[in-house]
Amino acid sequence: MTQWDDSRAAAVSENVADESSTSSANQLADPDPFETEKETVFGEYWMYAGHANSIAEPGQFFTRTVGDRQLIVVRGHDGEIKAFDNVCAHRGSKMVEDTPMTDPGGGSRIQCPYHLWTYDLDGELRSTPKSFEDASLNPDLENEDVQEFDCETNGLNDVHVDSVGPLLFVSLSDDPPALSEQVGVMTDRLESLSLEGYEHGRRIAEEVECNWKTVAGAALERLRRGDRLAGLEPSDAALETADRHWLVRSTRDGGREAQVHYLWPNLTIEVYDDVDGYGTCRIDPIDGDRCQLIADYYVRDGDLEEKERERIRTSRRRRAELVELAGRRRDDHEASAQARLEPDDTVGSLHQLVTGGDADR
Amino acid sequence: MSAQRQVAYAASCPDCDVDLHGDDPNEIVEFYRRHSSVTGHDVEFTRIQPDLTDAVTEDDLKEVYTLEDVVAKLEAEYEDGVPIGAVAAAMSEQGLSIGETLEKIHEIRMGGGLYEPQDDHLRAF
């Protein structure tokens, strides 16, 4: 039987028991809360952005949208990774086109295509076109109107970046707590897995007609049952929970340990026991009724062999089952407008976190 | 048993083996934008509303050839501008992916050949 580590479960389960009895399941699928969640969840917590190995060289970057904000995640000349709003400090134009982590862009500077303001990789304004500085080159400009741009104050808007191993997280909050506070004891667990030794093999993105929390709740429901891990008897799986993460671990026949982590608010990390690799899947909301599942698979050298392709097919089948379960939960919620969440309902746990009911935030 | 209603448009990403169905052709374009922004993959139409293919036939596409002509041809069907999804669907008959069509639309708009009476709807000058 699935085992609970009660010492770690206490913070969530107590609150959920208090709060969920008054919660309507329909609140979870109501599109209005999504606008609020852009601030209270996606604007507040650390969000998974991508994998550091995908931007291994200075100047490489990818874009990531969190809530309504489009970000550039870039490796600087000094090797440090920074993130900025993808918005020019001049007129607020979008600077770089959407660039997925799987096909990163590159360059020694970031330049806005509209008026050619150019920024260093650390976000500082480097140059503006001569026509901004020399009135004789610009019929719309008088000498007295020429401004001197302070490079520091006209830089790109910084967004906080932190990492657990190679997994990069961003926070839109002005003053976020340390990432380790959100990830908790999982920081050490994940770092001990040496995830940086793996390269990206494949990305699959799909859309689901469900609120993101419904899908997250279904994922947690499966974690709790221990049935997300292929061929495991429930007694093989151990579940640990804490405020903002859930973990199922299992070892078969003395082999590699399979692990499935769920990190609040929307990331799963699956360490496989049948191939040398792991996968991540983030659940990104599109709106209040739909979300996008973005799954990435990592293997030692990035080249997929047949057994790894088979592992991806297996993961997809399991994700299809997850989507089916989420669809049933969505239908259940819609069918019973006043449905009450069970105290141990994992969706209730998510609701607890979304509404900020946990005591320590 | 009731027959399942067939939606007007469908598109898929062959790389991810995922698809989307909808009655509004611009929904397909939105799907393409979301999908492409995280994967870089293009998306192909797999079903197109029969009325549209009647309005712009394969012969038309061979004959008129340019995207502006396709927009002009479809204008009669849409009062408030031709949805870019309908243009992309028609152009897919000519072998263009949605990404390729959107790129062409952008080029032509920048050159003044097309304008948008409302977002993601086109008219020819």
Convert the pLDDT of each residue in B73-117 to its tens digit. 889 888 899 999 999 998 898 888 999 999 999 999 999 999 999
Query: How big is the CA angle at A181 (ends A31 and A291), to the nearest 5 degrees?
Result: 25
Contact indicator for B18, A323 with CB cutoff of 8 Å:
no
pLDDT along chain A (361 residues), means of 10: 36 33 47 83 95 97 96 97 95 93 95 90 86 65 67 88 97 94 87 94 96 90 66 60 73 74 91 92 95 97 93 93 92 67 52 52 34
Interchain pair B18, A294: CB under 8 A? no
- Kindly state whether B20 is in contact with chain A, defined as any CB-CB distance less than 8 angstroms: yes
Contact indicator for B28, B9 with CB cutoff of 8 Å:
yes
Looking at residue A233, its pLDDT comes to 54
Q: Number of folded domains in chain B? A: 1
- Kindly state whether A209 is in contact with chain B, defined as any CB-CB distance less than 8 angstroms: no
Q: For A360, left (φ over 0), alpha (ψ -120 to 50), or beta? A: alpha
Looking at residue B45, its pLDDT comes to 93
Compute the half-sphere exposure of residue A73: CA atoms within 13 Å on the CB side of its CA. Answer: 32
Architecture in CATH of A48-161: 3-layer Sandwich (2.102)
| CA B119/CA B116 separation, integer angstroms | 6
| CA A137/CA A131 separation, integer angstroms | 5
3-class DSSP state for residue B114? strand
* CATH of region A3-46+195-354: 3.90.380.10
Contact indicator for A143, A135 with CB cutoff of 8 Å:
yes
Task: Name the residue facing A294 among B17, B31, B38 (closest C-beta).
Answer: B38
| CA A212/CA A220 separation, integer angstroms | 12
- Residue at token pair 């929390």: A213
Contact indicator for A55, A62 with CB cutoff of 8 Å:
yes
Task: For B31, name the nearest residue in chain A, comparing CA atoms only.
Answer: A207
Looking at residue A16, its pLDDT comes to 30
Looking at residue B27, its pLDDT comes to 95
pLDDT digits (tens, 9 = 90+) for B33-78: 999 999 999 999 998 887 776 666 666 666 556 888 889 888 988 8
Interchain pair B40, A102: CB under 8 A? yes
Flag whether B27 is in a domain.
yes
Q: Which two tokens stand for residue A58?
A: 């200075």
Nearest chain B CA: its distance from A311 CA (Å): 15
**Containing structural domain, residue B36:** 9-124
Nearest chain B CA: its distance from A313 CA (Å): 11
Q: A162-174 b/e with 16+ CB inside 10 Å = b?
A: bbbbbbbbbbbee
Reported residue count of chain B is 125
Q: Which residues of B touch A102 (CB under 8 A)?
A: 39-40
Task: Name the residue facing A103 among B20, B34, B40 (closest C-beta).
Answer: B40
Torsion angle, CA of A160/A163/A169/A174, rounded to 10 degrees?
-20
Q: Among A333, A134, A301, A69, which Cα is nearest to A218's? A: A333
- Kindly state whether B3 is in contact with chain A, defined as any CB-CB distance less than 8 angstroms: no
Q: Which residues of A touch B27 (CB under 8 A)?
A: none
Nearest chain B CA: its distance from A101 CA (Å): 7
Flag whether B41 is in a domain.
yes
Interchain pair B39, A63: CB under 8 A? no
3-class DSSP state for residue B17? coil
Count Cβ–Cβ pairs < 8 Å, chain A vs chain B. Answer: 35
Contact indicator for A284, A291 with CB cutoff of 8 Å:
yes
- What CA–CA distances, in Å, run from B43 to A265, B47, B48, B61, B71? 29, 12, 14, 20, 21
Looking at residue A115, its pLDDT comes to 83
Q: Where in chain A is the domain with CATH 2.102.10.10?
A: 48-161
- Kindly state whether A98 is in contact with chain B, defined as any CB-CB distance less than 8 angstroms: yes
- Kindly state whether A63 is in contact with chain B, defined as any CB-CB distance less than 8 angstroms: yes
Provide the chain A residues 116-135 that lie in CB contact (below 8 A) with chain B.
Answer: none
Flag whether B1 is in a domain.
no
Flag whether B33 is in a domain.
yes
- ipTM for the whole complex: 0.87
Return the DSSP state at B124: E
Contact indicator for A315, A213 with CB cutoff of 8 Å:
no
Label residue B5 by pLDDT band (50, 70, 90): low
- Kindly state whether B35 is in contact with chain A, defined as any CB-CB distance less than 8 angstroms: yes
